[in-house]
Amino acid sequence: MRTMAYDVIVLGAGPVGENVADRVVKGGLTAAVVERELVGGECSYWACMPTKALLRGAAALRAARSLPGAREAVTGDLDVAAVLARRDGFSSHWKDDGQVAWLESAGIALHRGHGRISGERTVEVTGEDGVTTLLTARHAVVVATGSSALVPEIAGLREARPWTSREAAAASGVPARLAIIGGGVVATEMATAFASLGSTVTVLARDGVLPQAEPFAGELVTASLRESGVTVRLGAEVASAGRDGDGTVHLVLTGGDRVEADEVLVAIGRTPNTRDIGLDTVGLEPGSWLAVDDTLRVLDGGGWLYAAGDVNRRVLLTHQGKYQARAAGDVIVARATGAPVDDARWGRHVATADGRAVPQVVFTDPEVASVGLTAAAAEAAGLRIRVVDHDLAAVAGSALHAEGFRGQARMVVDEDRRVIVGFTVAGPDVAELLHAATIAIVGEVPLDRLWHAVPAFPTVSEVWLRLLESYGR
Ligand SMILES: Cc1cc2nc3c(=O)[nH]c(=O)nc-3n(C[C@H](O)[C@H](O)[C@H](O)COP(=O)(O)OP(=O)(O)OC[C@H]3O[C@@H](n4cnc5c(N)ncnc54)[C@H](O)[C@@H]3O)c2cc1C
Ligand SMILES: NC(=O)c1ccc[n+]([C@@H]2O[C@H](COP(=O)([O-])OP(=O)(O)OC[C@H]3O[C@@H](n4cnc5c(N)ncnc54)[C@H](O)[C@@H]3O)[C@@H](O)[C@H]2O)c1
């Protein structure tokens, strides 16, 4: 067996694994990444990038149609083939040459194949040709193997060959009828995308629409989906499924109702890619999420094992995984070189923001942008809060932005510290509004100082002033 040694070995070359390796190399250590599929991971080829490319054309069309003067210039409908072709481009046509070239330029070694931990600081890589290479790490092994779509144990569902987010993101055509199981982020984004591309969509949202978000966000998205022709069935649970000889999928709901579709997309959350990575060889449970401390070191992982990104379940988002990667890479370098470890809250070597200040944009119509705690989550955390709401349509910038603008903003204030701990905004094109709130929350900017952060007129950001005015001085 061929053997090779590096300072750090990273299992998985998704956005998170790539970034851990980059930080480690920038810190003066050597690093190798092990990748069994495409360098770039889920985000680049089957998640963030292709799905946003599927959504963007319809969003631009909606924006034009919402403006007298511009709407008259729109003479046709979406060009579905062009949307799919643009999506193909944003997925690099499912080829990773560009990302491999970046790895080379960054001085990171790549081992293609399935990686398995085989003991303390060792990883076995089995290539497609069956040849195995043994890698040893002088300092750390980082698991960044990500997650996969969870398919529930519903009678007949697996045999019905459901789509997961992968098939939806990479679809080469548009099914006439699409049923979606789930009401979360993937379900609402893909309902928005496929409805705009011409599918007749049914969303089966057992637990509601965007149940993790502020309630007004789910309500606005549900109303908008329904207006665009999507059937949204709140509380609907699928009891059994089947696909008949002509390809039609039949779903039977608890209570007996039936739904027919040409494809069914399962979007009920994720499962960690840890079933076959050798966790048992180091006393950990195969198939489990890898719990970590704030420096991303695996609990009971011997001190040399780290886990970053989706696989540790802290936050399943690319930007937050990459934030963890920067902390993990830097702390591995610090520990390897004997430099001081800065693991105090908000220190260089910890991912403090994971707990309290995670930004997310759901690219539905309307967009939902949020950071920090919802009112419900803040109350559950025992904070004494005050909730301030404002109609987003009632600022001049919004009225100018689109006719019939609909939206809502909410800030959640920690009354004991007089700082914002949560912010949610729903409305057309609000994604870029979010970073101001992220800075206010991470910076723990006192409300009295925020009065001096004056939003420009006439922008949608003026809602910040209105929220402060409602709160009072
Ligand atoms: C449909 C969809 C849309 C999304 N949109 C967004 C979005 O807009 N914004 C956002 O921030 N997040 C989004 N996400 C979440 C985002 O995709 C993930 O948070 C992100 O990909 C996690 O990165 P990662 O590096 O941890 O894992 P992954 O991207 O899953 O990468 C893990 C890599 O490890 C490899 N691997 C796994 N096991 C092994 C092994 N044993 N040996 C070798 N290699 C292995 C895999 O092949 C993969 O390349 C979306 C998710 C989905 C499903
Ligand atoms: N724009 C973005 O940032 C973006 C886009 C897509 C996905 N993602 C990330 O990808 C991850 C996965 O997304 P997702 O939509 O699959 O998960 P999710 O957790 O957002 O939503 C899953 C939904 O399915 C429901 N559910 C769970 N089990 C069910 C069952 N058996 N039957 C019916 N419903 C069930 C849940 O209540 C939940 O509402 C998320 O963590 C999300 O953050 C992010």
* Domains of the chain, CATH where assigned: 2-45+91-148+272-347 (3.50.50.60), 158-268 (3.50.50.60), 366-471 (3.30.390.30)
Which of 116, 145, 319 most suits a substitution to test ligand 1, by most atoms within 8 Å of the C-beta? 145
Other C-beta atoms lying within 10 Å of the C-beta of residue 120: 14
In whole angstroms, what is the distance from residue 214 CA to residue 376 CA? 8
pLDDT of res. 316:
98
Which of 43, 99, 313 most suits a substitution to test ligand 1, by most atoms within 8 Å of the C-beta? 43
Q: Is residue 447 scored above 90 in pLDDT? A: yes
Please report which confidence band the pLDDT of residue 1 belongs to, taking 50, 70 and 90 as the band edges.
confident
Which ligand is the nearest neighbour of the Cα of 43?
1
What order do you get walking across the sheet with 231-234 strand by strand? 231-234, 200-205, 177-181, 263-266
Which residue minimizes the CA distance to atom 35 of ligand 1?
A: 12
Index of the ligand 2 atom closest to the CA of residue 210: 39
- Using the Cα atoms of residue 452, residue 455, residue 461 and residue 466 in order, give the sign of their dihedral: positive
269: left (phi over 0), alpha (psi -120 to 50) or beta: left
Index of the ligand 1 atom closest to the CA of residue 46: 1
Q: How far is the CA of 364 from the centre of ligand 1 (A)?
A: 20
pLDDT of res. 255:
96
Q: Is the peptide bond before 446 cis (omega within 30 degrees of 0)?
A: no
Index of the ligand 1 atom closest to the CA of residue 148: 30
- Using the Cα atoms of residue 375, residue 379, residue 380 and residue 383 in order, give the sign of their dihedral: positive
Which residue minimizes the CA distance to atom 27 of ligand 1?
A: 146
Q: Is residue 313 scored above 90 in pLDDT? A: yes
Structure tokens at 68: 């007298």
How far out from the chain centre does Cα 256 lie? 34
Which ligand is the nearest neighbour of the Cα of 364?
2
Index of the ligand 2 atom closest to the CA of residue 184: 21
Phi, psi (rounded to 5 degrees) for 442:
-65, -40
Which of 48, 92, 281, 290 most suits a substitution to test ligand 1, by most atoms within 8 Å of the C-beta? 48
Which ligand is the nearest neighbour of the Cα of 276?
1
Please report which confidence band the pLDDT of residue 260 belongs to, taking 50, 70 and 90 as the band edges.
very high
State the average pLDDT for the chain. Answer: 98
Residues with CB under 6 A from ligand 1: 11-17, 34-37, 41-43, 47-48, 51-52, 114-115, 144-147, 165, 169, 186, 273, 277, 309-311, 316-319, 321
Q: How far is the CA of 265 from the centre of ligand 1 (A)?
A: 18
With CA atoms as reference, report the closest residue to 266 among 136, 150, 176, 440.
150
Which ligand is the nearest neighbour of the Cα of 13?
1
Q: Is residue 246 scored above 90 in pLDDT? A: yes
Residues with CB under 6 A from ligand 2: 152, 181-187, 189, 206-207, 211, 267-270, 316-317, 360-363
Q: How far is the CA of 250 from the centre of ligand 2 (A)?
A: 22
Other C-beta atoms lying within 10 Å of the C-beta of residue 472: 8
Q: What is the mean pLDDT of residues 94-107?
A: 98
Index of the ligand 2 atom closest to the CA of residue 165: 16
Q: What is the mean pLDDT of residues 54-71?
A: 97
Q: What is the mean pLDDT of residues 308-337?
A: 98
Q: How far is the CA of 272 from the centre of ligand 2 (A)?
A: 14
Q: How far is the CA of 458 from the centre of ligand 1 (A)?
A: 39
pLDDT of res. 285:
98
Which ligand is the nearest neighbour of the Cα of 150?
2
Q: How far is the CA of 261 from the centre of ligand 1 (A)?
A: 28
Index of the ligand 1 atom closest to the CA of residue 149: 53
* ipTM above 0.90 for this complex: yes
pLDDT digits (tens, 9 = 90+) for 134-171: 999 999 999 999 999 999 999 999 999 999 999 999 99
In whole angstroms, what is the distance from residue 185 CA to residue 41 CA? 19
Q: What is the mean pLDDT of residues 379-407?
A: 97
Who's near 52: CB < 8 A, 6+ residues apart?
Answer: 90, 363
Which residue minimizes the CA distance to atom 1 of ligand 2?
A: 362
